[in-house]
Structure 1
Amino acid sequence: MSESGAGLIYPVILCGGSGTRLWPASRESMPKQFSRLVSESGSTFQATAARVADGGVFGRLCVLSHAEARFIVAEQLAQAGVAADILLEPERRDSAAAVAVAACHAALADPQALVLILAADHVIGDTAAFVAAAQAAAAGARAGHIMTLGISPTGPSTAYGYIRRGAALAEAPGSYAVARFVEKPDAAGAQGLIAEGALWNSGYFLFRADVMLAELEAHAPAVLAAARAALSGAVRDLDFVRLEAAAFGQAPKTSIDYAVMERTTLAGVLPVAFPWSDVGSWDAVWSVLEQDELGNAVRGRVELIGTTGSLVHSQGEQVTAVVGLADVVVVSTPDAVLVSSKARSGEVKELVGLLRAKGYPEAEAHRRIYRPWGWYQRIDIGERFQVKRIQVTPGGRLSLQKHYHRAEHWVVVRGTAEVTLNERVVLVHENEAVYLPIGAMHRLTNPGKIPLELIEVQVGSYTGEDDIVRLEDVYGR
């Protein structure tokens, strides 16, 4: 960290979650933080990155992501025009390990660096108010407190944890010591907490790196030791930093709330009142979307008759129509449909667990699968054949590969494909095709300036994704 960086707040976005409560739109292959569930202009991850882009307040962004999502993270940051250090977690160990890595990473440059921990999937309705709150909380963090932002409740929600305020902090006007963190209460408990002035726990934390490291050493030394070892053994892979897997796997799987915040005597809270939601359920998504005069929020190709207070979300080209229902959630995707009451939409996580237990592939993956070079989507599949639609971004390059059980036919429908076929390299233009025999070494590249789209027809005794033998791959897979 340079001298010019003194006083800046260094934001860290944690985006390793899978978002199963928003299935089927959010799945392991494309979690909610990367989907356009609440805005057509971008994902909540992109909105979070843009929110901390003011170079006069915030330093260089750091993102901690699950390794499988690395190319989605990089692509969406590029789309948003935001530069960042991207640290890859080899497995999910909950937020304590992630925060420990973030603190260690910041301390390498400046032990007293101010670190702001952010979730990737929150919706905030007033960016200016958020930035002002971060600056106000920074006063407490510089004085040695671990600050959090406490949201002024808009109602007795049972979906959030609460924070009871203690004495005012002299070092940070408008802030308070945390008297107690309270787990998600029942309805009566939530009502009582609001009556006594408790705040919603936003999950945002702002601290000096050295303070957090000292508290981790005192309260969660195993987490800190694993984080230090994982960062010490990290290796660079393209634009990413891969944490050392064996060391990171030794971190106890626990949240930063349990590991530190509920034990430390340094916790402080700044009450804030900007519009906020963690969009943790479909009911919460409904609450942040624009609603019509009947209380309905719709996305996509939707038609309603006699329906009130409902969320209807339709992805793809199909029409989703709802007649005569009230207070429901209907989510339609090309390969799955969810129908739930709004009141019980929080149980979708349990539903996904049931689908996983029964072996439904739709529990984990969308029909459209994203890759570092673009994406592919299955159109049809049957005995001895499969048809896919493939899009390759400009400059994208698939691995040099071969198959033991299938041949492939590629038909270009948009752009120009550079195709390596054994020792030959040919250009295939729109409305032209190329045949790839079983066992042939081949590679697909988009050398152009526009996305390359093609239809792939696979024919053979087996068309599974594991019949790919990669001989060379620029993405290091």
Structure 2
Amino acid sequence: MAVRIVPVIMAGGKGTRLWPLSRASAPKQFIQFVGEHTLFQQTLARVSDTALYDPPVIVTNQEFRFLVAEQAREMGVELGGTLLEPMARNTAAAIAAAAVFVASCAGEEAVLQVLASDHEIAADEDYLAAIRIAREAACSGKLVTFGITPTEPATGYGYIEVGEALAGGAHAVKAFVEKPQAAEAERMLAAGGFCWNSGIFMFTAGQVLHEMEIHVPEIAAAARASVATAVADLDFIRLDAEAFATSPDISIDYAIMEKTGNAAVVPSSFAWSDLGSWDAVWKLGRRDDAGNVVSGNATLLDTKNSLVMSRTSHLAVQGMENVAIVASEDAVYIGRLEDSQQVGKLVKRLAADKETAPLTRDHPTSYRPWGGYTSILNGDRFQVKRLFVLPGKKLSLQKHHHRSEHWICVKGTAEVTIGDEVKVVRENESVYIPQGELHRLANPGKIMLEMIEVQTGSYLGEDDIIRIVDEFGRS
């Protein structure tokens, strides 16, 4: 019987290259771009075949833990564990912690496939064939990376020079190449024998830890200590902060892949993109006869080869060509597709101004263990939110010093506690919570509860919450 693979999905990144949809608090892996699911959910779907995979292990951080849980729940995917990094320490530390965790559960012979949560991949027969080749090489002691057959002289990816063939279809790695200049990328494409470095890896838990103990022993030690003293919190595993902090901040490539003599590459022709720019989103999208990719509310006239996406207002676009126009709930990006690799520079400028910095950090929708909320309108001494509460969940019993709240039920049935009174609020009904009054919102039903919340008062910050009772341990 073939060995099943333990997927390790890296979901802690806070990239902003796809701003304004992607923010520090809600990065691209959790955003739905084109298609029915987010990139993280698509990654979960690729590892859902129980004949090939065990339940996935997710490595993320405290801020994203409920996003991970909710999006996995929506997909009906049971997770093998969710490790919470106390701080960012790059991929080597995250992979080491996951390897220690999996080894403690399934043994050091367990085969890990390390996946980014924000890549677009066509999981076709070529992909599955590459997985089987990599698994065989990993079981023989190799540290395997997946090399993507280049389709253009891209300068945004690292490259791998492919070496001699190994038994089973993998190849030795001759060299890793940093992201090249355009001329060097063109030379490698013309010469052949080079692949894009996909950032997908496969190895046994024991082998990767053995290599780390040789090349970066401090990372291995930090991983073992942080898992040994980890604390369970609901369905999450909090890695010990003091131990994890001792790990160097370094990528898996620099830590071991470029140093080991056991590196192997599986040259692969399946479609792959790291979706690192709006140009990449346009290339992968479904284009109309004019070459446009359109998502959301938009009308186009005399417009060609453009990406137009809206999460809010209706976009009317006329006479444009080769542009990206992306509207979130609170910001709009407009730029040439060819310049979309440089969005990061624009985000840095926004982040440097205290007036616009929140646009790079905060997303209008925030997720909580009970559901979440979307900010609809902010004004002087008032704000309007849409609350959504999962079936069977409830918010903490709480009070506010500086605001009162009006709740209007627009979907489902709410159970509302105000002081000593508990009442049922149905669709098209409302309730008022005075400033300073103990209150609680719960969803006793079988469908999602949606409420419109209008807050009024002198201070409306999220930190004006005094939790008295909370089933998620936050009181």
Scaled by the length of structure 2, what TM-score is found? 0.96
Which whole-Å deviations, capped at 9, do the CAs of 1:204-255 have from their partners, x for residues lacking one?
1111111111111111112111111111111111111111122212221111
Instruction: State whether residues 46 and 123 of structure 2, in contact with CA within 8 Å, keep that contact through their aligned partners in structure 1.
Output: no
The aligned amino acid for 1:242 is R
User: Counterparts of 1:403 and 1:80 in 2: how far apart (Å)?
Assistant: 35
Which whole-Å deviations, capped at 9, do the CAs of 1:325-380 have from their partners, x for residues lacking one?
22111101121000111111111122222212212211111222222222222232
The aligned amino acid for 1:397 is K
Change (3 A) 1:60 1:387: closer
1:218 aligns to what SS in structure 2?
Answer: helix
Identify the residue that residue 392 of structure 1 maps to in structure 2.
Answer: 389
Structure 1 residue 422: Cα displacement: 2.0
User: Counterparts of 2:363 and 2:436 in 1: how far apart (Å)?
Assistant: 29
User: Counterparts of 1:245 and 1:258 in 2: how far apart (Å)?
Assistant: 23
Partner of residue 434 from structure 1, selected from 431, 434, 447: 431
Identify the residue that residue 110 of structure 1 maps to in structure 2.
Answer: 107
User: Counterparts of 1:100 and 1:455 in 2: how far apart (Å)?
Assistant: 44
1:252 aligns to what SS in structure 2?
Answer: coil
Change (3 A) 1:289 1:411: same
User: Counterparts of 2:247 and 2:65 in 1: how far apart (Å)?
Assistant: 21
Is the aligned partner of 1:35 residue 2:14?
no
Structure 1 residue 55: Cα displacement: 1.5
Which whole-Å deviations, capped at 9, do the CAs of 1:289-308 have from their partners, x for residues lacking one?
01122211111111122221
Identify the residue that residue 22 of structure 2 maps to in structure 1.
Answer: 26
Is the aligned partner of 1:159 residue 2:156?
yes
Identify the residue that residue 219 of structure 1 maps to in structure 2.
Answer: 215
Which whole-Å deviations, capped at 9, do the CAs of 1:251-276 have from their partners, x for residues lacking one?
21111111111111111001110111
Partner of residue 323 from structure 1, selected from 307, 318, 321: 318
Show the 5 A alignment for 1:131-142: 131-142=128-139
1:283 aligns to what SS in structure 2?
Answer: helix
Identify the residue that residue 121 of structure 1 maps to in structure 2.
Answer: 118
Identify the residue that residue 199 of structure 1 maps to in structure 2.
Answer: 195
User: Counterparts of 1:201 and 1:16 in 2: how far apart (Å)?
Assistant: 20
The aligned amino acid for 2:442 is T
Gaps of 5+ in 1: none
Structure 1 residue 461: Cα displacement: 1.3
More displaced 10-residue stretch of structure 1: 355-364 or 183-192: 355-364
Q: State, as a whole percentage, how many aligned pairs show the same letter.
A: 51
User: Counterparts of 1:473 and 1:229 in 2: how far apart (Å)?
Assistant: 30
Show the 5 A alignment for 1:135-284: 135-170=132-167, 173-196=168-191, 197-284=193-280
Structure 1 residue 21: Cα displacement: 0.2
Instruction: State whether residues 163 and 198 of structure 1, in contact with CA within 8 Å, keep that contact through their aligned partners in structure 2.
Output: yes
Backbone CA RMSD of aligned residues: 1.5
Segments of 4+ moved more than 4 angstroms = none
Structure 1 residue 443: Cα displacement: 0.9
Instruction: State whether residues 51 and 127 of structure 1, in contact with CA within 8 Å, keep that contact through their aligned partners in structure 2.
Output: no
User: Counterparts of 2:420 and 2:386 in 1: how far apart (Å)?
Assistant: 26
Is the aligned partner of 1:70 residue 2:69?
no
User: Counterparts of 1:246 and 1:437 in 2: how far apart (Å)?
Assistant: 43
1:22 aligns to what SS in structure 2?
Answer: coil
Structure 1 residue 185: Cα displacement: 0.5
Which whole-Å deviations, capped at 9, do the CAs of 1:6-27 have from their partners, x for residues lacking one?
7211111111112310010111
Structure 1 residue 100: Cα displacement: 0.4
The aligned amino acid for 2:300 is L
Structure 1 residue 400: Cα displacement: 1.3
The aligned amino acid for 1:256 is I
User: Counterparts of 2:352 and 2:369 in 1: how far apart (Å)?
Assistant: 29
Identify the residue that residue 330 of structure 2 maps to in structure 1.
Answer: 335
Identify the residue that residue 473 of structure 1 maps to in structure 2.
Answer: 470
Structure 1 residue 391: Cα displacement: 1.7
Identify the residue that residue 10 of structure 1 maps to in structure 2.
Answer: 6
Is the aligned partner of 1:352 residue 2:374?
no
Structure 1 residue 457: Cα displacement: 1.8
The aligned amino acid for 1:128 is E
More displaced 10-residue stretch of structure 1: 124-133 or 396-405: 124-133
Which whole-Å deviations, capped at 9, do the CAs of 1:105-138 have from their partners, x for residues lacking one?
1221211111110111111123433222111111
User: Counterparts of 2:206 and 2:301 in 1: how far apart (Å)?
Assistant: 58
Structure 1 residue 442: Cα displacement: 1.0
User: Counterparts of 1:8 and 1:386 in 2: how far apart (Å)?
Assistant: 50
The aligned amino acid for 1:244 is D
Identify the residue that residue 97 of structure 1 maps to in structure 2.
Answer: 93
Which whole-Å deviations, capped at 9, do the CAs of 1:41-95 have from their partners, x for residues lacking one?
2111111111111122112211111121111111111111211111111222111
Instruction: State whether residues 406 and 431 of structure 2, in contact with CA within 8 Å, keep that contact through their aligned partners in structure 1.
Output: yes
Instruction: State whether residues 52 and 131 of structure 1, in contact with CA within 8 Å, keep that contact through their aligned partners in structure 2.
Output: no
1:20 aligns to what SS in structure 2?
Answer: coil
2:17 aligns to what SS in structure 1?
Answer: helix
Structure 1 residue 450: Cα displacement: 1.7
Change (3 A) 1:238 1:358: same
User: Counterparts of 1:157 and 1:374 in 2: how far apart (Å)?
Assistant: 40
The aligned amino acid for 1:373 is W
The aligned amino acid for 1:346 is Q
User: Counterparts of 1:88 and 1:403 in 2: how far apart (Å)?
Assistant: 30
Structure 1 residue 444: Cα displacement: 0.5
Gaps of 5+ in 2: none
Partner of residue 415 from structure 1, selected from 409, 412, 416: 412
Change (3 A) 1:59 1:454: closer
